Structure formats: C-alpha cells, structure tokens
Amino acid sequence: MTVNVSTQRIIPARRPKRTIKVGLVAGGLGTYWPQFPHLLPQLQASAKYVSQRIGAMDVELVDAGFISDPQEGAIAAEKLRAAGCDMIVMFLTTYMTSSMVIPIAQRSNSPVLVINLQPTEQMDHANFDTGDWLAYCGACPLPEVANAFERAGVPFRSVSGFLREERAWTKIHGWIQAAGIRAMLRNSRHGIMGHLYPGMLDVSTDMTMVTTHFGGHMEVLEFDDLRVRVEKATEKEINAVLDETRSIFDLDSTVNDDDLRWAGQVAVGLRRLIDDFDISSLAYYHRGLDGEIHERLGAGMILGCSLLTAEGVPAVGEYELRTSIGMLMFDRIGAGGSFTEFQGLNFNSGVVEMGHDGPAHLSITNDRPILRGLGVFHGKRGYGVSVEIGVKHGPVTTFGVNQRKNGSYQFVASEGEVVAGPRLLLGNTTSLIDFGMNPGEWCDAWSATGVPHHWALGTGHRVAELRSIAELLDIEMVVI
C-alpha cells in the first residue's frame, strides 16, 4: 500500500547546461558574381535561411558570413578559430574551390559538417539558364572538398538535400547535437567517491583512459567530503528536501520516518558536494561496517542520487564510472538515462527484465515514482529507502560503454520497446523490454560484446544519435 498517492508527476528543476557554440560559413566562387548578377543575392538568401534555422537550435551561433575567395576564407578561418566553436558548419551554396575552406577546417580544431542544400527539390530544366543551374550546384564541390579533407587529415561528414527538407535538417541537428555532447564531455568533471565494489573487474575503470577518450577532468572524492556536508545540513534544508520528495514520490507504507529523514539529509549533503566540486557525474561505493557513518551514508544515497540524476547530474552506485558517463550522454540528448542491469528473462512474454536499486531518472517514469523502504540492499550493507519506477512504455535504447582488451573504448547499443506486464516491486527501476527476438538470444548477443554488467537505459530509439557521437569521439560502435 502507498500513501499520499497522486497522479501528478513532478521532477526537480534542471541544472544549467553549457550552450553549444556553432560556427557557420557559407560560400561560392566569386568569379560567378559579375557573370550572373542574380546568383549571389539568391545564394545569400539561402545562407540567411540556414543561419536562422541553426540559430533556432538552442545554440550560440557564430556566423562568419559569405565567402567568395580564399582571402575571405582565411578571414573566416581566423574568426571561427578565435571563437572556439564546438562545430563548424560549411554551407556549399554553389561550386567553390577547396582552397577556400581547407584553412577553416585546419585552424578551427573542431568537427566539421559540410552541408549541400539546393534551393528546391529539383531544377526547372526547361526554363533554367546557367546562372539558375549554378544555384543548384552545391553538390559539385562536395567530392572536391571531401578529397581535400581526406588528404589533409580532416575527418569529413556531409548532409545533402534541399533547403526546406526536414529530413536533411534532422540530420544536421543530429550532428550539431553530437558535437555538443563531445564538447560537454571535454568540459565535464566526473566525480568518483569511495572505492570499487569488491570483485567487479568489469567495472574497474582507468581514469587516464576516460580523459583520453572523452576529455574532461576526474575528481577523486572521499566519503568524508560527503560526510562533513551531510553533518552541516540544517533542519530547514532537510525539511525542504522532504517537502520536495513528497511532491515527487508516492511513499510506500514500508518507508520508515527516520530512514526518510536521513535520506533527505544525505540529499542535502550530496547537492552541496556537487556544487562545491562542480561535478557533472558521480560514481560511488563504500561498504562500511556495523552501522558506522560511512555505511549509513552509502545506504542513504539513492533518494539524493535520483534527485541529482533528474537535475542532469547522473549519480550511480557500485563505482560504475563508465555507466555514469553513458547516462550523462543520454541525459543531454533528452533520453533520460537510468542505471540498469539484467534482472531476469521472461520466455513466456518474450521480454528482458532490467533494472537496478538506483538511481532512477525521474523524467522517464511511466507513472509517479515510489519510495519504498528496504530492510536490506541486495549485496550492500545498510538499509533505508529506495526509488521504484517503471520506464515509460514505448521505444527505448540500452547503451553501454565498453573497454576492450587493447584499452580502446566501444559503444554498445540496442533498440527495443518497454511493454506492460508484471514487474518486481523491490524498490528498483524495473522495465520489461521487447527486443523483437528471443530474450535468451538477445542476452547472449548483448553479453558477447563484452559490455559491462551495468548500462544506461533511455527513452526513444537513439542508435542514430549515438552513432554520430561515436564518430565525433572516434569510438567504435556495436549495435545489437
């Protein structure tokens, strides 16, 4: 039985996130302008439309304007280099020489996206003259630019379409989003607190390799860093968190008042810890002994970690650093991202049962989340309250960050559907997922990749977005 049941769903306010900075340059061959007087105004109008569409994507746009020769290309290159863009978008409006854009790509040290968007779906062949045709000729320099980039060692990607084609704009948005994830990771501060869960060799992560593959900073935290902040939590702060908790969760009758208050006090300390160290993600574990303070801290963290995860700071147990980073990526693309592992296989229903005892991402719950009191956390010391949710029914993606024997990183992902059915009511994030195949076959295929036994579960089919992120990070991706 639960108390204070409500159908209203509330989640904590999101923390501010870094804005993606996108550089844009459009261009064409200046030799054409005196030959075809109406061509340049038409191309500039197209460039203005592209600028407006990208500027509406919740980005900081640095528009270097329209270039017509290598000299103007060099000026644009310096402007975009100085701006420190997360991605450079080059709009090929008509034929232009590769010499006009090579310096932009080389100096920016940023991922480059080349776009070729002709004015409409097709030319009016019966009525077009040469000037009209050239407005549709952005495809002409695309192989030239690609060849020049290949020889210059500049990674290359492109989107071709027409100016108001939503398919093309979806792909453009996807690449810009991927560049934002790359930049976010390079500016992230990943906290690791406590120590590895004993014996979990798959979870063990080399901090240097995290920085090597993703960038960012590793902040090593002590449980005492949390302890001193929990001790300083005021009654007013604790009461505020408990009021927030009651507005978000339905409280099961198993919840003990003392345990709930302790979880609220730990949540106050966790938020202060995240603020003081400017943490982007957190992985933690500490065993503790005989009810001493560190054991109590470890057992009291699930509520606070779920609140943090919903605010955009994934916080996971069992020292699972790579999964917290995967959840951070999922969060930033709007997929939520909850900590999960196998719970069982249902061969009658054809589903894989997944979940974990925290944290949950409160933005992707199917119903109002429940706080449940636990006499014991499976495999961990202590007792207290845990978060129970079911992920929204519909399309989902599992996403694991794997490390291979040669030290390289690998993304592993699979798309499925969360379906209705009987779930375990154990204070876990539990979901039933149909991957369109025998659950035993899927379990074997997923495990054969060597992915660790924790991963992120997010809403939506996200493989296309993850592929773009993987390419910009130069990380291999495997799809089951």
Cα dihedral sign, 365-371-376-382: positive
Check residue 471 and give its pLDDT.
95
With a CB cutoff of 8 Å and minimum separation 6, the contacts of 396 are 415, 416, 417, 418, 431, 433, 457, 458, 459, 460, 461
DSSP state string for 41-109: HHHHHHHHHHHHHHHTSSEEEEEEEEE-SHHHHHHHHHHHHHHT-SEEEEEE-S---GGGTHHHHHHH-
**CB neighbour class for 30 (10 Å; exposed up to 12, middle 13-18, buried from 19):** middle
3-state class (DSSP) for residue 170 = helix
Which residue in the block uniquely carries the two structure tokens 């300390």?
269
Mean per-residue pLDDT pooled into runs of 10, the chain (480 residues): 52 79 97 96 97 94 96 96 95 96 91 96 94 94 95 93 96 95 94 89 86 93 96 96 92 89 95 96 88 88 92 91 94 91 91 82 86 67 75 94 90 96 78 95 94 92 96 95
Dihedrals phi, psi of 347, to nearest 5 degrees:
-80, -20
Residue 45 corresponds to which tokens in the numbers above? 């109008």
With a CB cutoff of 8 Å and minimum separation 6, the contacts of 338 are 309, 327, 356, 359, 360, 361, 364, 389, 391, 429, 456, 457, 458
Which residue in the block uniquely carries the two structure tokens 């900081």?
60
Cα dist from 372 to 101, 254, 310, 396, whole Å: 59, 6, 18, 25
With a CB cutoff of 8 Å and minimum separation 6, the contacts of 359 are 302, 305, 306, 308, 309, 314, 315, 316, 317, 338, 339, 387, 429
Please say whether the beta carbons of 306 and 317 come within 8 A: no
Check residue 416 and give its pLDDT.
97
C-alpha–C-alpha distance, residues 369 and 363, integer Å: 10
Return the CATH architecture of domain 20-185: 3-Layer(aba) Sandwich (3.40)
Parallel/antiparallel/unpaired status of strands 20-27 and 394-403: unpaired
C-alpha–C-alpha distance, residues 63 and 79, integer Å: 9
Dihedrals phi, psi of 467, to nearest 5 degrees:
-60, -40
Count of C-beta atoms within a 10 Å radius of residue 459: 22
| The CATH number of the domain covering residues in 7-12+187-479 | 3.20.14
Please say whether the beta carbons of 160 and 116 come within 8 A: yes
With a CB cutoff of 8 Å and minimum separation 6, the contacts of 147 are 98
Which of 344, 192, 348 has its CA nearest to residue 279?
192
Radius of gyration of the chain (CA): 26
C-alpha–C-alpha distance, residues 106 and 118, integer Å: 26
C-alpha–C-alpha distance, residues 312 and 306, integer Å: 10
Which of 283, 289, 288, 355 has its CA nearest to residue 318?
283
Which of 438, 434, 430 has its CA nearest to residue 418?
434
Residue 339 corresponds to which tokens in the numbers above? 């900590």
With a CB cutoff of 8 Å and minimum separation 6, the contacts of 23 are 62, 63, 64, 80, 83, 85, 87, 88, 89, 108, 110
Predicted TM-score (pTM) of the model is: 0.89
Domain ranges of the chain: 7-12+187-479, 20-185
Q: List the helix and strand counts (H, then E) for the chain.
A: 16, 20
Which residue in the block uniquely carries the two structure tokens 């090579």?
102
Check residue 2 and give its pLDDT.
46
- Report the run of H or E that residue 322 belongs to, with start and end: helix 321-332
Count of C-beta atoms within a 10 Å radius of residue 143: 11
C-alpha–C-alpha distance, residues 423 and 270, integer Å: 30
**CB neighbour class for 283 (10 Å; exposed up to 12, middle 13-18, buried from 19):** buried
Please say whether the beta carbons of 230 and 271 come within 8 A: no
DSSP state of 14: P
The alpha-helical segments, DSSP class H, found in 135-200 are 142-152, 166-186
Cα dist from 56 to 52, 59, 61, 119, 126, whole Å: 6, 7, 9, 20, 36
Check residue 247 and give its pLDDT.
92
Check residue 372 and give its pLDDT.
86
